[in-house]
Amino acid sequence: MYNLLIGGAAGQGVDTTAAILEHWIKQSGCEVFTVRDLMSRIRGGHNFSCIRFGAQVPCCHSEKLDGIIALNAETVSIHRDHLRDGGFILCDSAVETDDDFVIKLDMAAIAKKLGNARVASSVAIGAALKLFGVPMSTEQADSVFRKSVKAEYVDINVQAVQAGYHAVPQKFEHAGGNASDHMLISGNQALALGALTAGVKFYSAYPMSPSTSIMEYLSLKSAETGIVVEQAEDEIGAINMAVGASFAGARAMTGTSGGGFSLKVEALGLAGMAEIPLVVVDVQRPGPVTGFPTRTEQSDLKFVISASQGEFPRMVIALRNHEDAFYQTIRAFNMAEKYQIPVILLSDQYLADSTAAIPMLDSRKIALYEPEEGPAGEDYARYRFTESGISPRKFPGTRDGFVAADTDEHDEYGHIVEDSETRIRMMKKRMGKLALLEQEILEPELLGEQSPDVLLLGWGSLYGPLEEAVELLNQKGEKRYSALVFGDVWPLPQKLLKQLASSAKYIIHVEQNYTGQLASLIAEVTGIKTDAGILKYDGRQLSGEEIADRIVKEGF
């Protein structure tokens, strides 16, 4: 497996270069996982992307590099220490460095000679492909650039790639693999595609990193699918619109990051109280408040579980990887509609912005929930007491009765009441959904040994890093390690956890936050206490290697 970093200032084309390279490498057969480390600025600073690729699936990023494409001198100085022996640093001849591993190439001069200084990065792409033994043909170059640049710039970019390719010798053997027919998809795209599959018809949001690309992808597909994507005046408007659309009968979703979620919380209660299905996405970033706008963290777990005043049922699903983002988003819509509750999807910047090569997703794998038809007759009551506690839905415009939504405590018809008896019955009706949800929740996934000595606990996007960490730790052969990675986090599944916790010698929580929020939730719900925590809250995701190193260092 190889790991290639492309670094430069914002505006230098780091992201575009990485996108073209990862696509090309995947086409050659390799499995791919790319992470993006971006600064919250449009120009300058230091951005980089890391493409990890090989015949095996890279389940997360790695700190160790085989190659660096340095679009500026700063990239060399920042990342040089992570380069393995025998790796390379590819940079323009003008970059001042005398490093032994440097391969200097007159990228700017070649580009200028071809007639456009901006194709220098394509010269670098060509050279990197050659260094990693990735085949390059004119037809392939042509098809790649046809997808990524305007028609008039295709030829010059193809020439630039060819020039770069022929300017350097091959350094590594091609990594191999059978992923050429895989999809290359980001976490946010997988979520958006899941929403489309689930039949989302209305998406309202206010732009906020790192959630905005969900809205961008849905907008791109809105004309063809006929869905409405509405940029609201604020986060509060966005969620209240989604609630209104859902009340009227359209599958609706709103998305944001933690700051936007903070503004949405009152309306989360509205969906709970008025029993209106709603999917709310929180793509987490480091807080509090503005925090690190373009970086990653898992610090909204306890917040979203308890957000909004009063008590109402909700479900919280943390997304673990790209496939999970797709399928769990479909499931979220189903659960929201079946139980008439808000369902919160917890993602984070690491998953949202990273891309992975994955086998084709199956748009028919999860059947869409088909609600029973509401009762006939004028005496329709939106909040009818039923055996299950779920009242059949109808939508405004029905010929049978009237449809009401009310945030006040209400009777079966949605009229305001203040009596104790109705209050108690309505509370029991709503809160009773939690018991129904407990029948539906999915147990966390166990990675590694079936009966571990050391049990790691994690959730969400640490799935990939934990998978690699457990593999590395078990290779040492001293103890048996495994990781239990939660997707459904509320209601909290307890069976597998209790079973493993009773026999494991040590339980260690691994989380991207300061306080160990999952560990705290587990302690609260099950009484199980962890022995130690591996925590990170600098906005950078733990890698599998880093988790394994820290576990060993702490003596576990």
Burial 190-206 (b: 16+ CB within 10 A, else e): bbbbbbbbbbbbbbbbb
CB of 406 to other proteins, least distance (A): 5
- Binding residue for other proteins, selected from 10, 73, 167, 228, defined by CB under 8 A: 228
Residue 11's SS3 state is coil
User: How buried is 376 (Cβ within 10 angstroms: 0-12 exposed, 13-18 middle, 19+ buried)?
Assistant: exposed
Question: How far apart are CB 146 and other proteins at their closest, in Å?
Answer: 13
| Residue (of 170, 187, 188, 182) closest to 2 by Cα position | 170
Is the backbone peptide bond immediately before 210 cis, with ω within 30 degrees of 0? yes
The single residue listed with the structure tokens 């059947």 is 367
Q: Which stretch binds other proteins (CB under 8 A): 111-119, 161-169, 197-205, 442-450?
A: 197-205
C-beta closer to other proteins: residue 274 or 484: 274
Closest contact distance (angstroms) between CB of 359 and other proteins is 10
Is residue 90 a contact residue for other proteins (CB under 8 A)? Answer: no
437 lies in the site for other proteins, by CB under 8 A: no
Task: Please give the sequence-ordered ranges of beta strands (E in DSSP) within 473-547, or none if there are none.
Answer: 481-486, 488-490, 506-511, 532-535
Greatest distance between any 2 Cα atoms in the chain: 84
Closer to other proteins by CB, 116 or 407: give it. Answer: 407
**Which of 2, 326 has the CB closer to other proteins?**
326
The answer to whether 303 contacts other proteins (rule: CB under 8 A) is no
Q: How far is the CB of 417 from other proteins (least distance, A)?
A: 11
Residue 248 touching other proteins (CB under 8 A):
yes
Q: Contacts with other proteins: how many residues (CB under 8 A)?
A: 70
Indicate whether 478 belongs to the interface with other proteins (CB under 8 A).
Answer: no
In the list 133, 176, 244, 375, the residue contacting other proteins (rule: CB under 8 A) is 244
Name residue, tokens 């659960």.
335
The length of the chain, given as a count of residues: 556
Q: Is 506 helix (H, G, I), strand (E, B) or coil?
A: strand
Task: Please tell me whether residue 151 adopts helix, strand or coil conformation.
Answer: helix
Q: How is 118-146 classified by DSSP, letter by letter?
A: GGHHHHHHHHHHHHTT----HHHHHHHHH
**Interface map 260-289 toward other proteins (x if CB under 8 A):** ------xx--x---x---------------
The DSSP symbol for 525 reads H
Between residues 160 and 245, which has the closer beta carbon with respect to other proteins? 245
Q: Minimum Å distance from CB 236 to other proteins?
A: 7
DSSP per residue, 247-293? HHT--EEEEE-HHHHHHHHHHHHHHHHTT--EEEEEEE-S-STTS-T
Q: Which of 407, 422, 494, 515 binds other proteins (CB under 8 A)?
A: 407
Binding to other proteins by residue 414, rule CB under 8 A?
yes
Nearer CB in complex with other proteins: 26/295: 26
Rounded to the nearest whole angstrom, what is the least distance from the CB of residue 267 to other proteins in the complex? 6
Closest to other proteins by CB, 404 vs 426, is 404
Is the separation of the CB atoms in 507 and 457 below 8 Å?
yes
Write down the least CB distance from residue 414 to other proteins, Å: 7
Pairwise CA distance, residues 183 & 174, whole Å: 20
Shortest separation between residue 397's beta carbon and other proteins, angstroms? 6
Minimum gap (Å) between residue 270 Cβ and other proteins: 6
Q: Binding of other proteins at residue 199 (CB under 8 A)?
A: yes
473 close to 550: Cβ distance less than 8 angstroms:
no
Burial profile 293-305: b = 16 or more Cβ within 10 angstroms, e = fewer:
bbbbbbbbbbbbb
354 forms part of the interface with other proteins (CB under 8 A): no
Distance of CA 32 to the CA centre of its chain: 16
Shortest spacing between CB 230 and other proteins, in angstroms: 7
Q: Taking CB under 8 A as the rule, does residue 237 contact other proteins?
A: yes
Binding site for other proteins (CB under 8 A): 181-185, 189, 193, 196-197, 199-202, 204, 221-228, 230, 232-234, 236-238, 240-245, 247-252, 266-267, 270, 274, 360-361, 363-364, 368, 378-380, 395-399, 401-408, 413-416
